[in-house]
Amino acid sequence: MTTPQSAWKNLKNAAVAARDPISGLFAIEPDRLDKLVVEAAGLRIDLSKQPWSLGDFDTALTLAKVCDVEAARNRLWAGKPVNSSEHRAALHMALRAPDGADFEADGVPVSRDVEATRNAMRAFSEAVRSGAKTGATGKPFTAIVHIGIGGSDLGPRLVWEALRPLNPGIKLRFAANVDPSETALALAGLDPAQTLVVVVSKTFTTQETLANAEVVRAWLRAALGSESDAHLVAVSAAPTLAQAFGVPADQVFGFWDWVGGRYSIWSAVGLSCAIALGYDVFQRLLDGGATMDEHFRRTPLLQNAPVLLALAHIFNRDGLDRPLRAVIPYAARLRLFPSFLQQLEMESNGKRVDQQGQPVAHATAASVFGDAGTNGQHAFFQMLHQGTDVIPVDFVAVARAGEGEPANHTILLANVIAQAQALMTGRSEAEVREELTAKGLPAAEIDVLAPQRTFPGDRPSSFILMEALTPETLGALIALHEHKVFVEGVLWGINSFDQWGVELGKSLATKILAELQGGAPGIHDPSTAALVARLK
């Protein structure tokens, strides 16, 4: 009987064994495309340019089966406390499920509460958009300032950038960083009388968020007096603290401890987007996520998009010891997607111990970086093609342009297809020499130039294609990666839903802040003490 330990050993042995280059696998595996391309929720996921043979692919599937991904998926859907260190369920799927769902968090029904919150969000967003809900002076709201950080910022910011109208009726700006320039830029040119402020903090104690919220509240009160609190909205699991801050009770929208910050765009955390885009657009985003949920929940592992994407990443990360991954959306509207994935993946799975507190047996989350194509081609693609490290790439492309000049979109598509091909096929030194010889270059110069112009190739990539960038396909893309992260966590035996690694620096910052504000010196290492003294 295959054990998880032996399945892991088989995967790693398969990965490092002598193998054909990726481009050669297509010739010896005529059904490669059929088996390594899946379609789900409006997305086409092509994993055929990954470094695995179909035999390796079967070995990876065996790992998923032996590690009981299906049973873990069932526990997730059943609302069991999969976040073991905090004894919480992780039920972001309930937030986007259609009305009438019956999710429970550790035995407590939650779907009716979710529906009630969605109804309240719809009513509020429609009131703001129609002008029925006005500011302190009776003027309609024409701008929203969204204040939050981490999961309370990255998801809404991504959705707004991806789906915003060319000429929005309501402007949406964001303030996340506690750097005062961020808030100053968010407020620049806005009329306080027509600005709605949405403060998002699960605990309503997040230092950066509250510091920025206090600045914006003071800006409102300076212009509008005490009536300006009517411009404040809060999204929090701590409504009492939000009301104590000055937010009217009927403008506090709740969410629950079973909603992790980086999984929270589907909740009232997305209220700013629901207002600025229109609630119907936000609902379509939810629908796209729910469609991917059904695919992940119902589809056999062999054709399950999140499972296969996770296995491809693990084959590179653990099988071939590749600690980096580039994510390149060839869509300017998705340029924030790599940043969103940095939190989703590196905060979720950047763990060194398993759920029993023991050192994890395998390398965990890869470091994610990226930028929009074609910008990235003129920045870091040199390293992707000819650097000493092999860095797998995930390409994301959109078949049809949403706006602008169609001819430019065709150029964009040509580039993304070509880059994926070039990474895989490369260009041999013999080909380069033949080309340079045909140009009449002398042999001595060819000897110098040929190695520099050679591309090793055999560099893997995934290709995710959506027909159009719509709320539904964006929702599916986000949910695909949420579930991919969960599958990876199951295989590594780690908790993908806590984030204790962010706590130490925050607690030390609180102590250092007191010193910078004139408090007694603390006990530090010499370097830290010198920095505090220099900046005091």
Hey, which residues are catalytic here? Answer: 347, 378, 506
Residue 358: other Cβ atoms inside 10 A? 9
Place of tokens 């990954």: 50
CA dihedral sign of residues 404, 410, 415, 421: positive
Please give the helix or strand (H or E) that residue 69 lies within, else none.
Answer: helix 69-77
List, in sequence order, every beta strand (DSSP E) within 208-341: 232-236, 252-254, 324-330
Please give the helix or strand (H or E) that residue 458 lies within, else none.
Answer: none
List, in sequence order, every beta strand (DSSP E) within 365-502: 367-369, 393-398, 461-466
Task: Characterize 390-403 residue by residue with b for buried, 16 or more Cβ atoms within 10 angstroms of its Cβ, and e for exposed.
Answer: bbbbbbbbbeebee
| Residue 141 identity (one-letter amino acid) | F
Q: How far apart are CA 158 and CA 372, in angstroms?
A: 13
Peptide bond just before 183 cis, omega within 30 deg: no
Q: What does DSSP assign to residue 427?
A: B
Q: What does DSSP assign to residue 493?
A: T
Residue pair 273/172 in contact (Cβ under 8 Å)? The answer is yes
List of residues 6+ apart from 116 with CB closer than 8 A? none
Residue pair 326/377 in contact (Cβ under 8 Å)? The answer is no
